[in-house]
Amino acid sequence: MTTLFDSISLGGKTLKNRVIMAPLTRGRAGAEGVPNELVAEYYRQRAGAGLIIAEATAVSAEGRGWMNSPGLYTDEQQLGWKKVADAVHAAEGTIFVQLWHMGATVHPDFIGGEQPVSASAVALAGQLTTPLGRDRTFVAPRALSVSEISERVRDFARAARRAIEAGLDGVEIHGANGFLIDQFTRDSTNQRDDLYGGSIDNRLRFMTDVVEAVSREIGADKVGIRLSPTNSVWGISDSEYSHTFTRAAEKLSEFGLAYLHVLEPRPESGHAMASEHYLTPAMRECYSGVFLVNGGYDQASGEYAVNQGAGDAVVYGQAFIANPDLPERFKRGAVLAEADSSTFYSDGAEGYVDYLPIAS
């Protein structure tokens, strides 16, 4: 019987357990997107995870649209990530970083008033805080040309190279939650009629181009990818989501990646993002490789998932914010602390590095 405390081999590394930390944007990297000592300490505290997947990190200035989120496109940012990698490795942890381009959700306030870019000129429904104010509404993006798409693919590869040079163990490509890759994948935001739009394989092409380029740059065994097939964040949707995402899982199998990570709460979890069209089992069927599941898991449902083979390991988000030693707490059957959502994206140490481990 497989348990959450069994080790697992992932991308040539042996993870000490199957309790994985989800990518969690915390907005502590400052205006220049440089992880500092506080960020290094936050991740060091969580090194007991089988794998830390560090927060969404921009591959270019154009793709960064979240206040004080980190980047990996300048030397300073790379040095900041080196501090994080060193701290986690000193505590015997393993750490990947999630790479994103936010596409149509980048407000012009972040990019000198320029129009954001996407698959097509389709505005997403949403607001985010920008340097110029709270709740700034998204604007209509412009569609990238084919040669511009190639440049964005190269940005992912370059950021991945920097991640490895900083000493991180690998990268997770952010193909979920309505950001640029997802904007290409789903047909509510992709209305192109060239090689990057129309058929499912064409809509998946940007994702597979990125996966291919990043794998060539750093080795497929250091590359994971995250998808969220039924998440309708920012109003994004796909009219044939079940075919789109099972095909995605099938195509991703060809690359020999470290893992495929699916964010989709189970219908019975009662999670706000749960959908009745639960697709994770069908994607699991279509994917040959390590499969990570996420969304509303607790210890019991996580144990059940690995035991039944629904996933090879379980990814925990909010639980890791408030319980830095989550695997140890699971082991001891200790009570879990609740995360305070008012400090998710606030500044400084409060609600960030002040959740302490249980006394040993």
| Min CB(145)–ligand FMN separation in Å | 27
For every residue of 203-249, DSSP letters joined together read HTHHHHHHHHHHHHHH-GGGEEEEE-TT--GGG---TTHHHHHHHHH
In the complex with ligand FMN, the residue whose CB is nearer, 54 or 143, is 54
- By the rule CB under 6 A, 258 interacts with ligand FMN: no
- By the rule CB under 6 A, 98 interacts with ligand FMN: yes
Amino acid at 293: V
Site for ligand FMN (CB under 6 A): which residue of 8, 10, 20, 22? 22
Q: Which helix (H) or strand (E) holds 149?
A: helix 146-165
Site for ligand FMN (CB under 6 A): which residue of 177, 189, 190, 230? 177
In the complex with ligand FMN, the residue whose CB is nearer, 85 or 263, is 263
Q: Label the pairing between strands 259-263 and 291-294.
A: parallel
Instruction: Give dist(CA 235, CA 252) in Å, integer.
Output: 25
| Environment class of 195 (CB within 10 Å of its CB; exposed 0-12, middle 13-18, buried 19+) | middle
Site map for ligand FMN, 305-324, x if CB under 6 A? -----------xxxx-----
| Min CB(108)–ligand FMN separation in Å | 22
Site for ligand FMN (CB under 6 A): which residue of 8, 15, 19, 25? 25
| Cβ–Cβ < 8 Å for 156, 162 | no
Residues in contact with ligand FMN, counted by CB under 6 A, come to a total of 21
In the complex with ligand FMN, the residue whose CB is nearer, 176 or 211, is 176
- By the rule CB under 6 A, 294 interacts with ligand FMN: yes
- By the rule CB under 6 A, 226 interacts with ligand FMN: yes
Mapped to the 3 state alphabet, what secondary structure does 102-113 carry? CHHHCCHHHHCC
Of the ranges 16-24, 86-94, 127-135, 236-244, which one interacts with ligand FMN (CB under 6 A)? 16-24
Q: Report the site for ligand FMN in 137-176 (rule: CB under 6 A).
A: 174, 176
- What is the separation, in whole angstroms, between the first and last Cα of the chain? 28
For every residue of 269-288, DSSP letters joined together read G--TT--SS--HHHHHHH--
Using CB under 6 A as the criterion, which residues of the chain lie in contact with ligand FMN when the complex forms?
22-25, 55-56, 98, 174, 176-177, 226, 263, 294-297, 316-319, 344
